[in-house]
Structure 1
Amino acid sequence: MAGENPKHSVSVAGVIVRADDRVLAVRRADNGAWEPPGGVLELDEEPQTGVVREVFEETGIRVTVGQLTGVYKNMKLGVVSLVFRCDPSAGTERTSNESTAVAWLTPDEVQECMSKVFAIRVLDALNGNGPQVRSHDGECLISAG
């Protein structure tokens, strides 16, 4: 509408990497898609605190938050996602009301199971050349410029 300012939503996600390079992923309860655990950042919450909260809520795993590995914007929905590489520190994997499965995936399994826009977040975190800044339309990456 004319005169309204568009709103953005900010989400956070953790790419939790074990010593064997397997990555923690969840199958979402709402759409069945495999993704790194994460969710909407609370208004009064720091990004790293949000990652710890979201990962624990969805998986039962406590994490130590490391480097910011990427910033991703869904251009259709106006969602900006901050993705952090994390180390598991405690806990046992479990599902939640937001996840129907939790698994430790290899990088090859990530590419097979996740949509391109989520697999790239994991691969960016694993390659250590970040942080990356990428935009997408919900399905495909959009070239800068």
Structure 2
Amino acid sequence: MATPEFILDLRSKIGTDLLWLPGVTAVVLRPSPARPGSRQVLLVRRADNGAWTPVTGIVDPGEEPAVAGARECLEEADVVAEPEALVWVHSLPEMRYENGDRSQYLDLTFRFRYVSGEPFPADGENLEAAWYEEDDLPEMSEEMANRVAAGLAPGDVCRWSF
């Protein structure tokens, strides 16, 4: 997966020290063409570990998080989507990468409405991109399943821990 240039610049100064980064998750929904009254969820299968997830990414410096989510949908799955609601804000545990880099992310999960495009793995970060019926999702980590559940939850209320 391509590391954003601003992170490479930071790493050249701080080495492998812990970076606190804003991340975004886009739970993209559309009405199910096969099941009236139901919805489909856009998922991608990551190239690095084969896991199914909603679209995720890092927010660039100065970028609005909802704009970052829309950008990631287009870059990763060639899907145009519009943000509807911020549905979950939470911090993730520290991550350590094979090269020794340490990062921790503040994830901002948004529900997005599908606008156009047929999903495919557009940028090489994913092996597949596809629509799944909301009640027939592939196996995914508890963390990613919770993000999807937040996007599927009724209403526009954001949740967080306190």
Listed as ranges, the matches of 1:80-119 within 5 Å are 80-96=106-122, 97-110=124-137, 112-119=138-145
Aligned to 1:126: 152
What is the percentage of aligned positions where both structures have the same residue? 30
Aligned to 1:8: 20
Q: Are the equivalent residues in 2 in contact too, given 1:69–1:128 (CA < 8 A)?
A: no
Q: Are the equivalent residues in 1 in contact too, given 2:81–2:115 (CA < 8 A)?
A: yes
Measure, in 1, the Cα distance between the counterparts of 2:90 and 2:77: 22
Aligned to 2:57: 39
Specify which of 105, 109, 113 is matched with residue 79 of structure 1. Answer: 105
Amino acid at match of 1:102: A
Segments of 4+ moved more than 4 angstroms = none
Q: Are the equivalent residues in 2 in contact too, given 1:70–1:84 (CA < 8 A)?
A: yes
Q: CA deviation at 1:108?
A: 3.4
In structure 2, stretches of 5+ residues that fail to align are 1-16, 33-38, 96-103
Secondary structure of 2:150's counterpart equals: helix
Amino acid at match of 2:149: L
Amino acid at match of 2:21: S
Q: CA deviation at 1:126?
A: 0.7
Amino acid at match of 1:18: R
Structural RMSD (CA): 1.7
Q: Are the equivalent residues in 1 in contact too, given 2:23–2:56 (CA < 8 A)?
A: yes
TM-score scaled by structure 2?
A: 0.74
Aligned to 1:52: 70
Amino acid at match of 2:43: A
Q: CA deviation at 1:36?
A: 0.4
Q: Deviations over 1:64-108 (max 9, x none)?
A: 111001112112232111011011111121113011011111233
Measure, in 2, the Cα distance between the counterparts of 1:93 and 1:54: 12
Secondary structure of 1:18's counterpart equals: strand
Q: Are the equivalent residues in 1 in contact too, given 2:120–2:130 (CA < 8 A)?
A: no
TM-score scaled by structure 1?
A: 0.82
Deviates more, 1:53-62 or 1:77-86: 77-86
Q: CA deviation at 1:6?
A: 5.3
